DNA sequence: CACTTGACGATAG
DNA sequence: GCTATCGCCAAGT
């Protein structure tokens, strides 16, 4: 791997997210070391993720509120189904017990 | 090369 | 508690 760009770094971190767990854009940015300043770039990268890297669990990445902000870009309600399959309950586009399923790359990694 | 946009986050009102 | 605005940075046009 050559994490020369933010994109690659984001892909790596997202791929490290265990099933049944989720993380936030800010957390990923924090893990990379840019802390929130690149939070938007993280979402941008995830958008590319589905086209560049195979199976990057972008559905496990939500915003700081646990809201499935990117579900619309993912392809409808596919995101909820995937999370539900992993044991993550999603209600009204937001993750239930977000704090319980929250996985911090900077801490766990 | 300059401007615009963007899966966000935090702070202020 | 909710809404509005600013901040930060990179990629695309």
Averaged pLDDT score across all residues of chain A? 89
Question: Please, are residues A27 and A108 in contact by the beta-carbon 8 Å criterion?
Answer: no
pLDDT score recorded for residue A101? 95
Residue nearest to nucleotide C12 (CA to C1'): A44
Domain range annotation of chain A: 6-98
Phi then psi for A60, rounded to 5 degrees? -90, 0
**From the CA of A87, how many Å to the C1' of B6?**
30
DSSP classification of residue A1:
-
A82 touches strand B (CB under 7 A): no
| pLDDT of amino acid A3 | 65
Q: Could you confirm whether domain A6-98 is CATH 3.90.1150.10?
A: no
Q: Is the pLDDT of residue A36 over 70?
A: no
The pLDDT confidence band at residue A75, using thresholds 50, 70 and 90, is: confident
Read off the tokens for A56: 């990057």
């Amino acid at each position: 791997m050559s994490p020369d760009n933010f994109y690659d770094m984001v892909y790596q971190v997202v791929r490290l997210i265990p099933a049944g767990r989720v993380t936030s854009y800010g957390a990923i940015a924090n893990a990379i070391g840019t802390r929130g300043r690149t939070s938007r770039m993280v979402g941008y990268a995830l958008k590319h993720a589905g086209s560049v890297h195979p199976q990057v669990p972008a559905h496990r990445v939500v915003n700081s509120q646990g809201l499935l902000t990117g579900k619309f870009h993912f392809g409808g309600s596919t995101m909820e189904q995937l999370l539900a399959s992993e044991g993550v309950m999603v209600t009204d586009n937001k993750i239930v017990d977000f704090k319980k399923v929250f996985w911090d790359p900077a801490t766990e990694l």
